[in-house]
Amino acid sequence: MLALMAGSGCQQSDNSERKPDSMTTAENPLLAEWTTPFGVPPFDLIGNEDYLPALRQGIAEQQMEIDAIANSLQPASFENTIEALERSGATLEKVNNVFSAVKSANSNETIRATALVFAPEQAAHNIDKLLNKELFNRIRSVNWQRDSLTLEPEQQRLLEETYNDFLRAGAELDDPAKQRLKEIEGELATLSEQFKQNLLAETNAFELLVMDPSDLGDLPDSLAALAAEEATRRGYNCDCWLFTLQRPSINPFLESSPNRELRRRIFLGYANRADNGNSRDNNEIVARTVSLRAERAQLLGFSSHAQYVLSDRMAENPQRVYQLLDEIWAPALQTAQAERDALQALMKADGINDQLQGWDWRYYTEKLRKARYDLEQDFIRPYFEVSAVRDSAFLLANKLFGLTFELRDDIPGWHEDQQVFEVIDTDGSHLAILYMDFFIRASKSGGAWMNTLRSQSRLDGNVTPIVTNNFNFPPPAGGTPALLGYREAQTVFHEFGHALHGMLSDVKYRSLSGTRTPRDFVEFPSQVLENWMSEPEMLRLYARHYESGAVIPNTIIDKITASSQFNQGFATVEYLAASYLDMAYHTRTSTDDVDVQRFEKEAMEEIGLIDEILPRYRSTYFSHIFSSGYSAGYYSYLWSEVLDADAFQAFKETSLFDRDTAQKYRQHILSKGNTRPGMELYKEFRGRLPTTEPLLKKRGMFENAD
């Protein structure tokens, strides 16, 4: 998702004695000049109370800059209007990038309170800017002149994107509609932040205490040690193991524990997050959000939120999204039904005659994987020590693009677990700074993501990018280093793909740089990198046993390859179900509040989702669409996977590390940001449009396709 140990950084300070309302620029490290190496944020100096006054100062500065542009007596030109607007808000962006990263990865009560206060203020500022009549008149004036201006292609793109941003935001609405739009944006910002905070609190609140070691089943020793340490950390003075709703804790337990009742409890704990009728319940937030989005879309002249969102995406409209989902859904569901029947038979062989349930799926999937392929996750983990996987991603970047990564112990981070790397280009020049933050903690949001702390640009000198990768992997425990499962190792490559997209950007304007592309394009560079991770040639380069240093045996590589399409029906169906749920909410034209539980149930019945599989994200914890930027856009992963499967064939047709193909990929995709439409960039790289055939073959569903 767009967003990743030994301590290379410093713990974020908590200077509670500062008086934020009276602080000067010199006293606030966020507003002072940063003299750190490469201008990175001075995390070792920043206090929690520094953020709100600095964010407000950033808003005030940009407002003055906007007023100067809007009220200028000079005729509107590209330079004094479009480029001037591009330059505005530098302080706000600098501070907000840092705050957003810390809020997601190392929050606390002060940070969360700041987020709730600032969210509506930021929303109000953004909409005030976009609805500023005088400012829009100047932008429109420049747009009218575009055919007579001698603009370079990137300048033309910036003008087009700026003009469309203001149009889509409602710049031509009348004053009452603008006022209502401001109210909606402020409320949506607050709802989004509250949704996220409720979900984090619900996730952290759940615990499953296991007293009997037999209930651990075949759980790897390293994960059992981690669960024992978690029990101790939470105050349990016993020989016991504690499991949480974080993916690296719950999934191995569901895969390993023979205790069906315990599997049921933790599965339902996960499935019912923020849906328990308590102070952290998200049902009303979801209902209100969906209603407000529909109202906003109609104010802006669109029939639904999905129509509004998709009009600016590669997909263009809901019909094209549904066409793609439907094309994959039928073969995926057929595959998942066959998988269910095989698991049901295995469960019956265990003497259990009940119907297979969601909490049984992963347990019997692992038993079936072992029976069919003689492959267990415990065979794989010793070869995927977290630092080795990280270094393998670096090695891939070196082989493809000539990049090298140098650990920098002199650069501060926001947590002691962080590592910081200087990225050096193939010609020896400084390219970027990369922060990597691998491990679970209560202060971190779930999942994995990449953040941009500073966007690349060339408008006023060469500004190099600073990006982060964030994960939620199990930390070292019981004297064993952090060992990753196959999917977790794949996640490292995914997020590193986002990082490369940000670091290899080479554009003039920061608003067009790096990952600032349409949602249904941005996942393409991240997903394509996953393809290398499991290639036998790549595995032999990096997968070594953490104790012996032995290269992963060919027998295990063969088993990984043979099982690559195993359980793909389940994985595809749960993802598609969430995509359909997203679209169902956001193609609604009614602004009435929806009954969330009934709506979700009916949406899943309409597509024929089988009872044994839940959508990957149910409504009350679907943070992608209710507290991130993926509303009416969760389909983007599939859309991008069509691109990535097709693009990887370009390397398979030459060689895995072909430098000429990699150079074309860097030149036409990674370096271009949003300077041209995504499909145009893709055709420049591949020479043609993509097809779905490579994706269906990759997932083992080509024979089930019509």
Domain residue spans in the chain?
22-199, 206-271, 283-375+567-626
**Own/partner pairs, 62-65, CB within 8 angstroms, 24+ separation:** 62/88, 62/89, 62/91, 62/92, 62/125, 62/129, 63/125, 63/128, 65/89
pLDDT of 14 over the 80 cut: no
Which pLDDT tens digit goes with each residue over 347-362?
999 999 999 999 999 9
Average pLDDT of span 377-400? 94
pLDDT of 246 over the 90 cut: yes
Task: Please classify residue 646 by burial: count the beta carbons closer than 10 Å to its beta carbon, then call 0-12 exposed, 13-18 middle and 19+ buried.
Answer: buried
**22-199 and 283-375+567-626 share one CATH topology?**
yes
Query: Minimum mean pLDDT among 6-10, 38-42, 399-403, 661-665: which range?
Result: 6-10
pLDDT at 604: 98
CA distances from 499 to 41, 507, 560 (A): 18, 16, 26
> What value does the mean pLDDT of the chain take?
93
Q: What single letter denotes the amino acid at residue 68?
A: A
The yes-or-no answer on residue 495 being catalytic is yes
Task: Write down the catalytic residue from 49, 83, 230, 495.
Answer: 495
How far is CA 606 from its chain centroid?
28
Q: CATH topology for 22-199?
A: Neurolysin; domain 3 (1.10.1370)
Closest CA relative to residue 192, chosen from 131, 282, 128, 73: 282
b (16+ CB within 10 A) / e for 339-364: bbeebbebbeeeeeeeebebbbbbbb
Q: Taking the CA of residue 114 as centre, how many other CA atoms within 13 Å lie in the half-sphere pointing to its CB?
A: 22
The secondary structure of 394-407 as a DSSP string is HHHHHHHH--EEEE
pLDDT of 21 over the 50 cut: no
pLDDT of 26 over the 70 cut: no
Phi first, then psi, for residue 182 (nearest 5°) are -60, -40
pLDDT at 11: 31
- Tell me the pLDDT band of 411, cut-offs 50, 70 and 90: very high
The contacts of residue 8 (CB under 8 Å, 6+ apart) are: 407, 408, 409, 411, 413, 418, 419, 420
Query: Minimum mean pLDDT among 92-96, 323-327, 562-566: which range?
Result: 562-566
pLDDT at 7: 29
Query: Minimum mean pLDDT among 56-65, 375-384, 416-425, 498-507: which range?
Result: 375-384
The contacts of residue 110 (CB under 8 Å, 6+ apart) are: 14, 48, 49
- Tell me the pLDDT band of 692, cut-offs 50, 70 and 90: confident
Which pLDDT tens digit goes with each residue over 132-184?
999 999 999 999 999 999 999 999 999 999 999 999 999 999 999 999 999 99
Q: What's the rounded Cα separation, in Å, for the pair 405 and 324? A: 39
Q: What's the rounded Cα separation, in Å, for the pair 380 and 461? A: 47
Query: Minimum mean pLDDT among 302-306, 380-384, 600-604: which range?
Result: 380-384
Query: Minimum mean pLDDT among 177-191, 452-466, 687-701: which range?
Result: 687-701
Q: What's the rounded Cα separation, in Å, for the pair 591 and 304? A: 10
pLDDT of 550 over the 70 cut: yes
Average pLDDT of span 436-452? 94
Q: What's the rounded Cα separation, in Å, for the pair 599 and 579? A: 14
Which pLDDT tens digit goes with each residue over 637-650?
999 999 999 999 99
Whole-prediction pTM:
0.90
- Tell me the pLDDT band of 112, cut-offs 50, 70 and 90: very high
pLDDT at 143: 97
pLDDT at 694: 83
pLDDT at 384: 96
Which pLDDT tens digit goes with each residue over 254-296?
999 999 999 999 999 999 999 999 999 999 999 999 999 999 9
Residue pair 186/118 in contact (Cβ under 8 Å)? The answer is no
- Tell me the pLDDT band of 18, cut-offs 50, 70 and 90: very low
Q: Indicate the CATH number for domain 283-375+567-626.
A: 1.10.1370.10
